[in-house]
Amino acid sequence: MQFFRQFSVVPSVVNGHCTRLIVVRVIVRLVQRLAAASYGGDSNSRWEGMGLGLAAITALLCAMRAAGVYRFGSIALNGRDALRWAAIYGFVFLLVALREEFRARGYLQYTLSGGLGFWPAAVLTSAFFGYSHHANAGEDWIGLFNAGAVGLLFCLLLRRSGNLWMPIGFHLAFDWGETYLYGVPNSGHVLPGHLLSGSSSGAWWLSGGTVGPEGSVLCTLLLIAVCCVCARWLPRAQYPQDTKAELHA
């Protein structure tokens, strides 16, 4: 209990995301009567997504370090404390990723793709995902743009892998790397219990300001680069809502 007193947001985050995730899944089952696999929920590619997500946040912070707006700092946790915080953030951000991905890239993307096609639906769900970040502390237009852009990246991962677990893995690892591993603000939220005592400084548009790395133009460039790499190297798989015309395009 002492741990939760130090980090009182954890119980509310866990309860909130668990409740929303259950509601989303129940609605999907009742309305569409589809198994999770129908909208991309049965695969082991989450590990590939996690590797991409961790590599992406690491590359972004290395670029910020090279630009002189970020310092990795020193190790702030050791032993059991390090393992404890790593585990709790892994669990919390798994819930965050599941809830947000099933809501935007899962049910909503699947449903809209049936009538609009995959990419028009992806634009709409990504705009929705970007706008959903507008209430974050200190959020600015670069951060909102990047949130929408990462939504498109997640749609690309979904389209290329054919399942939802790759964007879930990316989402989880990116957030976990920001908050726990490198100790930087995550969408404007500064939380305790990080492995490295990272810090940023300099122009807000380059450092991300109070938003964190997601509010930096370097993040925009990174997202473009990751999209190009994924579009070039990830094979195209069949998405559940594919039409015959799309499959032969």
222: Cα within 13 Å, side-chain hemisphere: 25
Residue pair 210/87 in contact (Cβ under 8 Å)? The answer is: no
CA distance 166 to 155: 10
Determine whether 236 is exposed, middle or buried from the number of CB atoms within 10 Å of its CB (0-12, 13-18, 19+). middle
pLDDT surpassing 90 at residue 32: no
Residue pair 145/208 in contact (Cβ under 8 Å)? The answer is: no
Q: Does residue 63 or residue 12 have the better pLDDT?
A: 63
Model confidence at 19, in pLDDT bands (50, 70, 90)? low
pLDDT surpassing 80 at residue 18: no
**Helix pair 165-176, 46-66: axis angle to 10 deg:** 40
CA distance 97 to 100: 5
Residue pair 97/111 in contact (Cβ under 8 Å)? The answer is: no
Q: What is the pLDDT of residues 159-201, one digit of tens each?
A: 988 888 999 999 999 999 999 999 999 888 888 899 999 889 9
Q: What is the pLDDT of residues 107-147, one digit of tens each?
A: 888 889 888 899 999 999 999 999 988 877 777 899 999 99
Q: What is the pLDDT of residues 37-48, one digit of tens each?
A: 445 555 568 889
Residue 196, strand partner residues: 75
Q: What is the pTM of this model?
A: 0.82
pLDDT surpassing 70 at residue 106: yes
Paired tokens of 56 = 């992406």
**Which range scores top for mean pLDDT: 4-8, 11-15, 129-133, 148-152?**
148-152
What is the structure's pLDDT at 42? 52
Determine what percent of the chain is predicted with pLDDT higher than 90: 51
